[in-house]
Amino acid sequence: MSRPKISDEDLGRVMGIARCLKLSFTEEQTLAIIAVRCRLRL
């Protein structure tokens, strides 16, 4: 299964929020968060 192309901006936002909240996510969770964010256009 091919992975979707993730922009540096999207990855940076998710990682920045996670860092601020002291959370950690697996790669699969990070991809799911970005996919939802892109669908909602946050």
- Within the chain, where are the H helices? 8-20, 27-40
State how far Cα 38 lies from the chain centre.
9
Give the model's pLDDT for residue 35.
87
Top pLDDT among 10 and 42 is at: 10
Q: Is the pLDDT of residue 17 over 70?
A: yes
Q: How far is CA 17 from CA 2, 21, 42, in A?
A: 26, 6, 13
pTM of the model: 0.65
Cβ-in-10-Å burial (0-12, 13-18, 19+) of 6 comes to: middle
Give the model's pLDDT for residue 4.
65
Give the model's pLDDT for residue 2.
63
Determine the 3-state secondary structure of 33 from DSSP: helix
